[in-house]
Amino acid sequence: MMQRRSFLQASLATTLATSLGKTVIAAQGGRPQILLRSSWQVANIGDIAHTPGVLALLEKHLPNADVVLWASYDLTEEVAAMEHRRFPTLRIVKGAIGAGGNASNAELQTAIDECDFLLHGSGPSLVAARDVAAFVQHVGKPFGVYGITHGSFFSGDDKELLSQAEFVFFRDSVSLEFAKQQGVQSPVMEFGPDGAFACDLRDDAKAAQFLQANELETGKFLCCFSRLRYTPYWTIPSKKRKIDAARHARNEAMKTQDHAPILEAIVRVIRETDLKVLLCPEDMTQMTVGKENLYDKLPGDVKPRVVWRENFWLTDEALSVYVRSAGVFGSEMHSPIMAVGNGIPAIVCRFAEQTSKGFMWQDIGLGDWLFDLDAPEQAARVPDAVVAMASDFAAAKAKTETARQFVHKRQRETMQVLADQFASD
């Protein structure tokens, strides 16, 4: 683990030296104009969290920059309103660049004309590859990529496009190494934390109301997440997707095995500590998943101290609950990311279908809180790890803080690479 961290830090030093020596662009009117291409979908609070996380980093590290969010079409008014509560002056545009090079609406065209730099935000891949490619072809201004996984089943043939970026920060070192093996040749290629680590949205009033209604006291409960191998988007009416028979079959085949160590962890927490457990959704499908695979299978002596949340929530309320918990655990990624980013301990379970993103836990120093559910010997250790975290919050908090400070350091350094794009010669 420490060798991986040392490699990342040594590699960063080389990157900074390179970036400081290259030709940089000058910001119009002395203020950098950044067009942030982000906001992938709203069915998952983690996908939502990418955007406010990167916005918070830009606000903190490039306070003189003007930022416009280029959002995907499905950004809802409800989510946009939540983001505006945190970033009141944020401009949001939607649309695409057509084959002729013109934007599909005047707002996007203005944002493109005024920007100095296009920043592609965090995600499971180069999500907006088409938009970036169109920007490169028709606009010709520089761009960079901040905190993606590369080589996942979401990824296309992005080698040439990534090589044209001023920088590419990968959110896990497995992606970074794969890009190097592929021959991606961006001048700056480094590990960079997922943008969601910086998400600081809050809805304390809703969180307090929910906790009170369910008799959950601050510091006296853990949050637990469960998921299937593939998100069953076909069960979300707004997605209007047909059932994927192969993925549904895989989900059915693996769900008992995948939930077994998490279910045992819940039982042991209830029986061996004075904490309660809250079953939380990270996406719109997981209320049902959690009930059927965890809550309904709890022993009678355990169930009274376990709360199942039956309704979906948005990122601000969820994060306000996480920060009042004694820790989070389960087979999701971005709720743990948000938790650790806000100083709350988090154990992550992963499997092959979740791509390589989970390895970021090793990259930030939390490798012994990462468990591969495809490896029986690792899955068997999950309950012990959860009970240990629950039994000594002070030790878990201290461990989390070390990782959090490493993330903060990387955030500062990676944002400096972006800031260097606007330096004067």
- pLDDT confidence band for 155 (50 / 70 / 90): low
In a domain, 35, yes or no: yes
CA 99 vs CA 31, 154, 210, 261: distances in Å: 30, 24, 49, 51
**Are residues 135 and 40 part of one domain?**
yes
Structural domain containing residue 326: 204-391
* Tens digit of each residue's pLDDT (9 = 90 or more) over 72-90: 999 999 999 999 999 999 9
* Tens digit of each residue's pLDDT (9 = 90 or more) over 281-304: 999 999 999 999 999 999 999 999
* Tens digit of each residue's pLDDT (9 = 90 or more) over 27-40: 445 799 999 999 99
**Are residues 369 and 220 part of one domain?**
yes
**Are residues 282 and 184 part of one domain?**
no
**Are residues 370 and 229 part of one domain?**
yes
**Residue for token pair 């006291």:** 217
**Are residues 245 and 357 part of one domain?**
yes
In a domain, 425, yes or no: no
User: How much is the pLDDT for 18?
Assistant: 38
pTM for this entry: 0.92
Burial letters for 79-108: b for 16+ Cβ neighbours within 10 Å, e otherwise?
Answer: bbebbeebbeebebbbbebeeeeebeeebb
- pLDDT confidence band for 157 (50 / 70 / 90): confident
**Are residues 152 and 279 part of one domain?**
no
Backbone torsions φ then ψ of 181, nearest 5 degrees: -65, -35
Structure token digits, residue 355: 């791509």
Question: What share of the chain has pLDDT > 70, as a percent?
Answer: 92
In a domain, 260, yes or no: yes
Looking up residue 158, the CATH number of its domain turns out to be: 3.40.50.2000
- Residue of 327, 312, 337, 302 lying closest to 124 (CA atoms): 337
In a domain, 284, yes or no: yes
